Amino acid sequence: MIRFESSYRPPMFMALLLAALLAGGGIGRVFAAVDPGVTVAPGTLVGAATEPTVISSSPSNRATTVPTSTNTSNNVVTGTAATATFSQPMDPATVNLLTFTVKETTGNDVPGTVVMNETNTVATFTPTSSSLNPNTSYTATVTMAAKNAGGVAMANPIAWRFTTNPVVLTGQTPVSLGTAGTFAILTKSGITDVFASAINGDIGASPITGAAIHLTCAEVMTGKVYSVNAAGPLPCRVTDPTLLTKAVGDMQTAYTDAAGRVLPDFIDLGAGKIGGLTLVPGLYKWNTKVLMSTDVTLSGGKNDVWIFQIAGTFTQANATKMILKGGARSKNIFWQASGAVAIGTTAHSEGVILAKTMIAMKTGASANSRLLAQTAVTLQQNAVTQPAR
């Protein structure tokens, strides 16, 4: 749960008055002053409307090592935005640069813009500068002048603090997979298989016909096999060329997004040899092939994003594994490779693989992954489980 600090403290006489009213049954529920690090729901006066409040934020309260900037899926780099999610729709005219501010702890204002989402429940403060300052503490505040759609003001101002990374670091937003994100395996040229593999998630191939999908239904543990025609394994086959055309298009869009991200945090790390490394969140770019000869650790939080841009092939050696630490999640890891991808015998992979050509899994390899290939996928007694979305 996100925790906030209220900058409001009631005077003692008000506390005594509220206590007296409660004792006399005059108030059905009241808003309690919020101690540091504690969230309290807004109060409701009997016969009155509920005051709005902020129920979550990004960055979260007391977050550290926050990226100084953010790279979106549209390749727009801005200073890291602060967002406030309200408990109810707000009057957008009252949520602006006067009521939603971001300041350095030294008191310096951060210039920016404030925009509400379509439902008027989330306000986003985007800095004018392309980057916040590194190793700097910031305070975001929403004042009591912010009102809900019915004109009821917030009962208390809400403030939260966060500190940026010690060095300039661009945070990445996840690559949008669109309808391709519903598939564990999606290819344009078909799937070969050495029995028996175990696939958890949907499978699809297009524009190749279903005859090129060589998995059996017994190997599809959960999910369905989508085909453009009446060919393909039964009884798990579903014929849906429209869905597949959209999914393949979204797969190609996702590949372009990942390949087009700019301002990498790391360029040609390890000259393409990443075995034994611990990889922090960020954008990695290699102008060479990449070899993972020993185990690799990806260490970061549950909302952190890794994007790996590989100009050549990506090879994971036999019996190696990718290890996730600190809450890192496979769905936020994206391996974009212009060349072929090979996952070695009994190796274990994590993350979404966006391949310009083929993805080959060797005997006994496993993947907590989505295999999205613009040519073929080859399987040899493999286990593939799509990450939770």
Residues 134 and 195 both lie in one domain: no
| Domain stops at, among 172, 205, 225 | 172
pLDDT tens for residues 20-33? 433 433 322 223 23
CB 185 within 8 A of CB 251: no
Task: Convert the chain into a string of H (helix), E (strand) and C (coil).
Answer: CCCCEECCCCCHHHHHHHHHHHHCCCCCCCCCCCCCCCCCCCCECCCCCECCCEEEEECCCCEEEECCEEECCCCCEEECCEEEEECCCECHHHCCCCCEEEEECCCCECCEEEEECCCCCEEEEEECCCCCCCCCEEEEEECCCCEECCCCECCCCEEEEEEECCCCCEEECCCCCHHHHHEEEEECCCEEEECCCEEECEEEECCCCHHHECCCHHHEEECCEEECCCCCCCCCEEECHHHHHHHHHHHHHHHHHHHHCCCCCEECHHHHECCCCEECCEEEEECCCEEECCCEEEECCCCCCEEEEECCCEEECCCCEEEEECCCCHHHEEEEECCCEEECCCCEEEEEEEECCCEEECCCCEEEEEEEECCCEEEECCEEECCCC
Amino acid of residue 233: P
Q: In this predicted structure, what is the pLDDT of residue 388?
A: 82
Q: What is the pLDDT of residue 76?
A: 86
Q: Do 117 and 195 have their domain in common?
A: no
Residues 136, 185 within the same domain: no
Q: Which of 172, 202, 220 is the last residue of a domain?
A: 172
Residues 231 and 373 in one domain: yes
| 68 has pLDDT over 70 | yes
- Do 162 and 184 share a domain, yes or no? no
- Rounded to whole angstroms, the Cα distance separating 113 from 97 reads 7
Range of the domain at 360: 178-385
Give buried/exposed letters for 2-13 (b at 16+ CB in 10 A, else e): eebbbeeeeeee
Per-residue pLDDT at 126: 96
Tell me what pLDDT residue 18 has. 39
pLDDT at 217: 97
Q: Which residues contact 367 (CB under 8 A, 6 or more apart)?
A: 343, 348, 349, 350, 353, 361, 382, 383, 384, 385
Percent above pLDDT 90 for the chain:
81
Residues 236 and 340 in one domain: yes
Q: What is the pLDDT of residues 115-159, one digit of tens each?
A: 999 999 999 999 999 999 999 999 999 999 999 999 999 999 999
* Interatomic CA distance for residues 77 and 130, integer angstroms: 6
Is the same domain home to 155 and 184? no
What's the total number of domains in the chain?
A: 2
Domain identity same for 110 and 222: no
If DSSP codes are grouped into helix, strand and coil, which group holds residue 192? Answer: strand
The CA distance from 201 to 385, in Å, is 6
Who contacts 216 (Cβ-Cβ below 8 Å, separation ≥6)? 193, 195, 196, 233
- Same domain? 124 vs 188: no
Residue 161 pLDDT greater than 80, yes or no: yes
Do 120 and 265 belong to one domain? no
- Give yes or no: residues 11 and 142 share one domain: yes
Instruction: Write down how long the chain is.
Output: 389
Which of 172, 187, 216 delimits the end of a domain?
172
What residues have CB less than 8 Å from 76, skipping those under 6 apart? none
Residues 158 and 243 in one domain: no
Identify the CATH number of the domain in which residue 119 sits: 2.60.40.1220
Look at phi and psi of residue 100 and say left if phi exceeds 0, alpha if psi is from -120 to 50, else beta.
beta
**pLDDT on residue 56:** 95
